[in-house]
Amino acid sequence: MELLFLGTGAGIPSKQRNVSSLALIMPEYKGDTWLFDCGEATQHQILEHPVRLGKISRIFITHLHGDHIYGLPGVLGSRSFQGAETPLTVYGPKGLRSFIEVAMQTSCTYLRYPLAIHEVEEGDTLKEGPFTVTVGKLDHGIPCFGYRLQEEEQSGALDIEKLKAEGIPSGPHYQEIKQGKTVTLPDGRVINGQDYIHPPKPGRILAILGDTRPTPSAEVLAQHADVLVHESTYGAGQEELATAHHHSTCVQAATVAKNANAKALILTHISSRFMEEDHVQLLKDAQTVFTAVQIAHDGFRYQL
Q: pLDDT tens digit string along 102-124?
A: 999 999 999 999 999 999 999 99
Q: What are phi and psi of 296, to 5 degrees?
A: -75, 150
Higher pLDDT, 277 or 118: 118
Q: What is the pTM of this model?
A: 0.91
Residue 67 assigned to a binding site:
yes
Which long-range CB contacts under 8 A does 239-248 form with residues at least 24 apart?
242/213, 243/213, 246/139, 246/140, 246/141, 246/211, 246/212, 246/213, 247/10, 247/140, 247/211, 247/212, 247/213, 248/212, 248/213, 248/214
| Residue 73 near residue 100, CB atoms below 8 Å | yes
Q: Given a cut of 90, is residue 276 above it in pLDDT?
A: no
Q: What's the rounded mean pLDDT across residues 25-33?
A: 96
Higher pLDDT, 113 or 15: 113
Lowest mean pLDDT among 52-56, 81-85, 153-157: 153-157
Residue 211 assigned to a binding site:
yes
Residue 65 assigned to a binding site:
yes
pLDDT for position 221: 98
Q: Given a cut of 90, is residue 275 above it in pLDDT?
A: no
Share of the chain above pLDDT 70, in %: 100
Lowest mean pLDDT among 71-75, 141-145, 151-155: 151-155
- In the annotation, is 159 catalytic? no
Q: Given a cut of 90, is residue 193 above it in pLDDT?
A: no
Q: Given a cut of 90, is residue 295 above it in pLDDT?
A: yes
Residue 247 assigned to a binding site:
no
Q: What's the rounded mean pLDDT across residues 18-23?
A: 98
Q: Given a cut of 90, is residue 155 above it in pLDDT?
A: no
Residue 63 assigned to a binding site:
yes
Helix (H) or strand (E) holding 118: strand 115-119
What is the C-alpha separation between 117 and 139, in angstroms, rounded? 23
pLDDT band at 172 (very low <50, low <70, confident <90, very high): confident
pLDDT for position 233: 97
Q: Return all residues near 122 (Cβ < 8 A) that are at least 6 apart.
A: 135, 136, 137, 145
H helix intervals, 231-303: 239-244, 250-259, 279-287
Lowest mean pLDDT among 73-77, 223-227, 254-258, 276-280: 276-280
Quote the longest CA-to-CA distance of the chain. 75
pLDDT for position 111: 97
Give the burial class of 302: count Cβ atoms within 10 A of its Cβ; 0-12 exposed, 13-18 middle, 19 or more buried.
Answer: middle
Q: Given a cut of 90, is residue 23 above it in pLDDT?
A: yes
Catalytic residue (one of 67, 124, 285, 298): 67
Q: pLDDT tens digit string along 235-273?
A: 999 999 999 999 999 999 999 999 999 999 999 999 998
pLDDT for position 157: 86
pLDDT band at 56 (very low <50, low <70, confident <90, very high): very high
Compute how many other C-beta atoms are within 10 angstroms of the C-beta atom of residue 270: 25
Lowest mean pLDDT among 32-46, 132-146, 190-204, 255-269: 190-204
